[in-house]
Structure 1
Amino acid sequence: MTLRVRVSVFSILLLLASLAVSVGATPARAVTAGDVVSARPTTVYLLPGKLLEVPVNAWHVLYRSTSATGALNTVSGTVLVPKASYALGKRPIVGYATGTHGLGDQCAPSASMREGREAELAFVSLLLLKGFAVAVTDYEGLGTPGTHTYMAGVSQGHAVLDSIRAAVRVPGSGLSAAAPVAVMGYSQGGASAGWAAQLQPSYAPELRLKGAAAGGVPADLRAVAAHLEGGPDFGLAAAAGVGLDAAYPELDLEADLNERGRALMADAADDCVGDLDKLAGLRFSDLSPVDLLNQPKWQARLIENRLGTLTPRVPVFLYHGRGDQIIPYAVGQTLRSEYCQAGVNTRWVSLPAPDHVTGAVEGGPLAVEWLTLRLLGLPAFGNC
């Protein structure tokens, strides 16, 4: 078939479609954030080797969300619903935001849950045992085409909120759009939960959000990056640079890197979090001849992605380990102070945890119990 014939056929089809609409055919509904692209049953395991299957109905979903710059995108995730009926009204839904998994698609939470290597299923299971449904986003670009927009808070907040919307729209989930909902996360997930709470009033006002629990929150990316430079966890700061560059193309990170920086970033582009140790001890000056963090284009986006500039309208539970070596304790304290000053009903818990991971272990069960009370309709009492 020649190009001219192809064009002619295409034109006829367009004409027929327009005639159908003109005689009263119902046009297709516009695609919106939270729409389900596909949902297929999946199985989730607690241990590798397909051991200890989690006894839930689960779906791997592709759903519509919104990028940091406002474009419609497609994100993947997992929806888990307990098999037992829920006797206390409409089953609550928790948008669970995982911590850092890495940049490669194989690192996505949906993949690790299917393969029995998802550590955060321990916290997800606590929510499932309460009878709650849980929607776990993979975030933009993790498990789907494109680069993961790691630490682009606006994108991550959208992905969390839209995972809840999508959970309701999964055929057979039995979930209600009028259900009470909550969001929870730690580290990257803490930032994502915080952003979901901040964005919900304008982005997803129909969701009946009752509370947000956020731990080990990297609220100020610039302060965290300065802390990580030259240290054993510098790879996390470098990965955040890759993620923000993916979210905001005008940053054009590759153009500002030196030869070594381009090679290292290309090598890290498909790494999981444990592989980022290869960047330990480096500084941004080792990767670029320019002062990246002080460039106006980077400063603008870092400020835009700083938590605390918007006000959640629901109670917030913040927790942070005093010995956190990755996210400075002072960063968490500042977020608490800013929320309190803005009038947010904030509950702050200072944990004795000697490191970042222990902070998740100590604070996760406390966050689950706090969220449970909010989902059951009990009032929250802050400690500002």
Structure 2
Amino acid sequence: MCILRRSPKSFGHRLAMSAVAGVLAAGALSIPAVSHADDPPGRPGDVISAVPTTFDLFPGVAAPVDAWKIRYRSTDALGNPNVVSGEIFVPRDGRSATRPLVTYAVGTVGMGDQCAPSATGGPRDIGPILEKGWAVAVTDYPGLGTPGDHVYLVGRAEGTAVLDAARAAQRLPEANARGVGPASPVGIVGYSQGGQASSWAAELSHDYAPELQVKAVATGGVPADILRDAQQSNGNQANLAAYFMIAIGHDAAYPELDLDSYLTEQGRGFAQRIRSGCVVDNVLAGQGKSLSQLVIRDPLASPEWQRRLAEDRLGTRAPQFPVYLFHATNDEIVSFELGKQLRADWCGSGVSVEWHAIPGANHILAAAVGGNAALDWLGHRLAGQPTQGNCGS
């Protein structure tokens, strides 16, 4: 079940770097656990609450951005209504005419509510998006900032949360006054865990949110097939934080999996610690432990677990708009082969895919190198310019 293949040291170093901005800010701020049992009924994307906040370029240095912490309606992996938290950001530039909207899917930050993007002042890497004058919606994902466990790497639940964040931005009156509305061209952006979430949003959007004017998705470092990656790891499950975050997330989404029945007493205690920790904390918690100490039997050997993990596979549906897809050739966290296969699957379905392998780069470097080019490409799509893709090359 581990999508991260190297030693615990390599895992900790790389994954910690990928989430360092959020982790540094985490802890001082948190979202209280709020029950939504008495929330009024509504549609996916309806805003339940919105509280003004700020977006800090650096601690204590606010950007010229209007921002709101929100709670909004969405749909879980089983098709049931749920409530998700997040944030909406609009540049404070005096613009009231229609502006583009990006719904942004963050990478791995951990599982505790204090790690949620809206608890840490928002992801710093949306700064370049806001500089372009685009509005940004950021989901916390289900269970990250709201009651229950974070459904880590459960693709369908993440994808609907990403789409409903865009709907919420379009339905927020304060954002409407600043040019965000049903006519806004929408882009979907994400990397790593956010790459999976953004790609799932792209595949679901035509059926789930057809009213959104989605023009393109820019996605990278995508864990496109968790089950395949786990099976190809040849039983190497040293990266216990990733293993348990995936297991806890799927158990939260699919209660019949009954994770506790697979765990030793020590494993149940470890799982509880992972549920409440941010990514670096979770990596450190796994140091010096072995899977054999924590499980009675491997969930991956169970047909029920295999079936649910297989449901996360991307590439079985065709996005109805162009895709920018990039992946590091030396990605030590998410296998490069998963990116290549996703490209092949989407190209085979007739999708216009702009594919970029980042030579010699690792997971973190590819995010920096590929991200700016992806946003430039996205800008042309949001402006209505066509693209040919490079599926034939």
- What TM bracket, shorter-length normalisation? 0.7 to 0.9
Name the residue aligned to 1:216. 221
Listed one character per residue, the Cα deviations across residues 308-327 of structure 1 (whole Å, up to 9, x for unaligned) are 11111111111111111110
Equivalent positions of 1:107-256 (< 5 A) are 107-113=115-121, 120-122=123-125, 124-174=126-176, 175-226=180-231, 227=233, 230=236, 233-256=239-262
**1:56 aligned onto 2:62:** no
SS where residue 138 of structure 2 aligns? strand
Q: CA deviation at 1:129?
A: 1.1
> Of the candidates 96, 100, 110, which is equivalent to residue 102 of structure 1?
110
SS where residue 311 of structure 1 aligns? coil
How far apart, CA to CA, are the structure 1 residues paired with 2:153 and 2:334?
A: 13
Name the residue aligned to 1:92. 100
SS where residue 75 of structure 1 aligns? strand
Q: CA deviation at 1:289?
A: 2.6
Name the residue aligned to 2:48. 37
Q: Which shows bigger deviation, 301-310 or 98-107?
A: 301-310
Name the residue aligned to 2:329. 322
How far apart, CA to CA, are the structure 2 residues paired with 1:297 and 1:286?
A: 23
Q: Which shows bigger deviation, 348-357 or 251-260?
A: 348-357
Question: Against the structure 1 CA distance between its residues 33 and 70, is the aligned structure 2 distance closer, same or farther, given a 3 Å change threshold?
Answer: same
Name the residue aligned to 1:350. 357
Name the residue aligned to 2:37. none
Question: Against the structure 1 CA distance between its residues 242 and 229, is the aligned structure 2 distance closer, same or farther, given a 3 Å change threshold?
Answer: farther
Q: Which shows bigger deviation, 287-296 or 303-312?
A: 287-296
Name the residue aligned to 1:47. 58
Question: Against the structure 1 CA distance between its residues 335 and 132, is the aligned structure 2 distance closer, same or farther, given a 3 Å change threshold?
Answer: same
How far apart, CA to CA, are the structure 2 residues paired with 1:365 and 1:234?
A: 32
Could you tell me the TM-score, scaled by structure 2's length? 0.84
Identity level (%): 46
Which of the pair has more CA radius of gyration? 1
Q: CA deviation at 1:268?
A: 1.1
Equivalent positions of 1:329-368 (< 5 A) are 329-368=336-375
Name the residue aligned to 1:74. 83
How far apart, CA to CA, are the structure 1 residues paired with 2:260 and 2:160?
A: 26
Could you tell me the TM-score, scaled by structure 1's length? 0.86
Amino acid at match of 2:124: L
- The two structures, once aligned, show a CA RMSD in angstroms of 2.0
Q: Which shows bigger deviation, 205-214 or 279-288?
A: 279-288
Question: Against the structure 1 CA distance between its residues 38 and 369, is the aligned structure 2 distance closer, same or farther, given a 3 Å change threshold?
Answer: same
How far apart, CA to CA, are the structure 2 residues paired with 1:85 and 1:197?
A: 31
> Of the candidates 359, 382, 391, which is equivalent to residue 375 of structure 1?
382
How far apart, CA to CA, are the structure 2 residues paired with 1:334 and 1:196?
A: 18
Runs (5+) with no aligned partner, structure 1: 1-28
Name the residue aligned to 1:19. none
How far apart, CA to CA, are the structure 1 residues paired with 2:389 and 2:166?
A: 26
SS where residue 377 of structure 1 aligns? coil
Amino acid at match of 2:369: E
How far apart, CA to CA, are the structure 1 residues paired with 2:189 and 2:222?
A: 11
How far apart, CA to CA, are the structure 1 residues paired with 2:292 and 2:349?
A: 37
Equivalent positions of 1:255-266 (< 5 A) are 255-266=261-272
Question: Against the structure 1 CA distance between its residues 149 and 228, is the aligned structure 2 distance closer, same or farther, given a 3 Å change threshold?
Answer: farther
Instruction: Tell me if the contact between 1:152 and 1:247 (Cα under 8 Å) persists in the aligned partners.
Output: yes
Listed one character per residue, the Cα deviations across residues 60-118 of structure 1 (whole Å, up to 9, x for unaligned) are 0000000001111110101000111448x5211100000001000000001112xxxx6
SS where residue 64 of structure 1 aligns? strand
Question: Against the structure 1 CA distance between its residues 306 and 268, is the aligned structure 2 distance closer, same or farther, given a 3 Å change threshold?
Answer: same
Instruction: Tell me if the contact between 2:262 and 2:295 (Cα under 8 Å) persists in the aligned partners.
Output: yes
Amino acid at match of 1:185: G
Runs (5+) with no aligned partner, structure 2: 1-39
Name the residue aligned to 2:10. none
Q: Which shows bigger deviation, 168-177 or 202-211?
A: 168-177
Instruction: Tell me if the contact between 1:55 and 1:83 (Cα under 8 Å) persists in the aligned partners.
Output: yes
**1:308 aligned onto 2:319:** no
**Matched residue pairs, number?**
348
How far apart, CA to CA, are the structure 2 residues paired with 1:285 and 1:318?
A: 37
